[in-house]
């Protein structure tokens, strides 16, 4: 019986050592927002996902179909945007730093080869900067 009692004391003590509570730990779970075809206005801050190489990121999920041709715009007046499209396994499908207009806004084009759930990640280039941004995903239709 001592091992069971030991474990029941160890878990709360570990959470306390880490500065977490059971309620706070649940609030920290990864839960990206859905992204439709509408524009999203959001803000990037130190409260978002740490990238591991400086800066933070915000993730959105979207269901895409094989054959979809999409554009993703990430625009900010506060920081140099970088937008990444990842498949359900977290593998980068496409990424864009600066759009063709010469600005620091991002414009990504992609043709989807496999249906599924994809993640759109917005972060600042080189992990520098934060602030408000807009994000829009558009499905292009063949002529």
- Residues 59-95: tens digit of each pLDDT: 999 999 999 999 999 999 999 999 999 999 999 999 9
Q: Is pLDDT of 9 > 50?
A: no
Check: CB of residue 143 under 8 Å from CB of residue 41: no
Mean pLDDT across 113-128: 94
Tokens of 96: 């864009």
CA 26 and chain centroid, separation? 19
pLDDT at 143: 56
Specify the fold of 33-140: Jelly Rolls (2.60.120)
Per domain, the residue ranges of the chain are 1-30, 33-140
pLDDT class of 102 with cuts at 50, 70, 90? confident
Nearby residues of 102 by Cβ (< 8 Å), 6 or more positions away = none
| Whether residue 21 has pLDDT greater than 50 | no
pLDDT band at 123 (very low <50, low <70, confident <90, very high): very high
């Amino acid at each position: 019986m001592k091992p069971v009692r030991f474990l029941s004391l160890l878990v709360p003590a570990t959470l306390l050592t880490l500065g977490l509570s059971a309620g706070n730990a649940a609030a920290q779970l990864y839960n990206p927002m859905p992204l439709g075809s509408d524009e999203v206005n959001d803000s990037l801050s130190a409260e978002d996902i740490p990238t591991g190489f400086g800066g933070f990121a915000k993730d959105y999920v979207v269901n895409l179909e094989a054959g979809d041709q999409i554009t993703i715009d990430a625009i900010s007046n506060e920081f140099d945007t970088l937008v990444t499209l990842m498949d359900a396994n977290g593998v980068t499908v496409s990424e864009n730093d600066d759009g063709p207009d010469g600005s620091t806004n991002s414009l990504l084009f992609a043709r989807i080869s496999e249906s599924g759930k994809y993640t759109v990640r917005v972060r600042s280039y080189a992990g520098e900067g934060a602030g408000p941004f807009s994000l829009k995903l558009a499905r292009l239709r063949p002529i």
